[in-house]
């Protein structure tokens, strides 16, 4: 009976040990049946949130984990280094083409030469846990630390926060602060000047606004009056035009009669002129009669002038007459 109990207890302990091993193999970081490769990532800054067992990813795909973290201090340069040993799992990487390309894919020196870089990224903002992410950045220079680790080193790349901090450290903050203080003083002086000058200016603007309002009102009234006068003028002009049209229509017959009479008078005048021209013509008989009559009148006038002269010399001739 005791032997059976011991056998049952031994079987239970062995079963628990087997279950524990299975749990460790399935959920732990152990890879008993897969090949692994170690590499080192050396950090000089803070790696807060990174712990042993943290994932190592390539663009978000897990390809390994953090194996160990140590702190190494160089007394000569008084510089602290944090070499982090990572364990890469080539079985998680599938390479297209021939099977021999798998070894080429895990040739870390060649990958580092091609631009493979490591970066510390935040895994969770809630827990503050971090992880190491690998990616190719050929433009980032490779800074290696051969005296810190004997493993193949993957150079680091500054995180976004570290790059921002580095850029901020390069800024001339003292000059910026001085300029900001000078700007604030100028703004304060400007504010004081505005406090002194704005009230009179506002009063002037209000007076100008009132005067402008009155001017606009007067101009509006003047425009209204002018518009009324223009309307009256247009109305009268329209009436005058209508009256003129009526008068022209009424006097149309009189104008026609006047034109006919004028035409007849012009014809009669032309006929009279023609008769006068015929009388004054040198070839006409009336012109000869007129000439002879004029000659007789001239001779008569000459006789009369001679008789008048004789009467003046001898007035008795009026009584006695001329003697033969």
Encode pLDDT of 119-173 as tens digits: 998 888 888 899 999 999 999 898 888 888 889 999 998 876 666 666 666 677 6
Beta-strand relationship, 72-74 and 130-136? unpaired
Smallest CA-to-CA distance from 119 within 140, 104, 100 is with: 140
Count, in order, helices (H) and strands (E) of the chain.
Answer: 8, 7
Share of the chain above pLDDT 90, in %: 18
* 196 or 161, greater pLDDT: 196
Report residue 70's pLDDT band, with 50, 70 and 90 as the boundaries.
Answer: very high
pLDDT of residue 134: 93
109-119 tens-digit pLDDT: 899 999 999 99
- Residue 146 DSSP SS3: coil
Q: Domain coordinates of the chain in residue numbers?
A: 33-170, 281-317
**pLDDT of the residue at 51:** 92
The pTM assigned to this predicted structure is 0.44
Q: What is the pLDDT of residue 31?
A: 46
For the cut 90, the answer to whether the pLDDT of residue 78 exceeds it is: no
Tokens 């450290």 map to which residue? 169
Question: What is the rounded distance in angstroms from the CA atom of residue 161 to the CA atom of residue 167?
Answer: 10
Distance CA 267, CA 254 (A): 20
């Amino acid at each position: 009976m005791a032997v059976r109990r011991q056998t049952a207890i031994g079987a239970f302990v062995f079963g628990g040990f087997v279950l524990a091993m299975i749990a460790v193999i399935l959920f732990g970081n152990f890879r008993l049946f897969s090949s692994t490769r170690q590499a080192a990532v050396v950090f000089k800054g803070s790696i807060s949130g990174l712990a042993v067992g943290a994932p190592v990813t390539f663009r978000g795909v897990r390809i390994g984990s953090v194996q160990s973290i140590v702190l190494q201090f160089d007394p000569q340069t008084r510089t602290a280094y944090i070499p982090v040993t990572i364990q890469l799992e080539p079985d998680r990487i599938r390479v297209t083409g021939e099977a021999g390309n798998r070894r080429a894919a895990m040739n870390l020196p060649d990958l580092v030469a091609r631009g493979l870089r490591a970066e510390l990224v935040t895994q969770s903002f809630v827990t503050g846990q971090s992880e190491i992410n690998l990616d190719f950045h050929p433009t980032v220079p490779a800074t290696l630390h051969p005296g810190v680790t004997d493993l193949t080193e993957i150079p680091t790349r500054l995180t976004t926060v570290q790059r921002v901090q580095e850029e901020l450290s390069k800024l001339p903050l003292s000059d910026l602060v001085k300029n900001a203080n000078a700007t604030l003083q100028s703004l304060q002086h400007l504010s004081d000047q505005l406090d002194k000058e704005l009230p009179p200016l506002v009063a002037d603007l209000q007076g100008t606004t009132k005067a402008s309002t009155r001017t606009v009102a007067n101009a509006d009234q003047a425009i209204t009056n002018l518009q009324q006068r223009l309307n009256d003028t247009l109305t009268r002009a329209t009436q005058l035009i209508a009256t003129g049209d009526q008068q022209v229509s009424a006097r149309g017959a009189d104008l026609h009669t006047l034109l006919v009479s004028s035409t007849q008078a012009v014809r009669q005048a032309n006929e009279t002129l023609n008769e006068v021209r015929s009388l004054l013509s040198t070839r006409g008989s009336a012109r000869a009669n007129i000439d002879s009559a004029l000659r007789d009148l001239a001779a008569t006038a000459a006789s009369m002038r001679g008789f008048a002269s004789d009467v003046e010399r001898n007035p008795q001739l009026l009584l006695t007459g001329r003697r033969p």
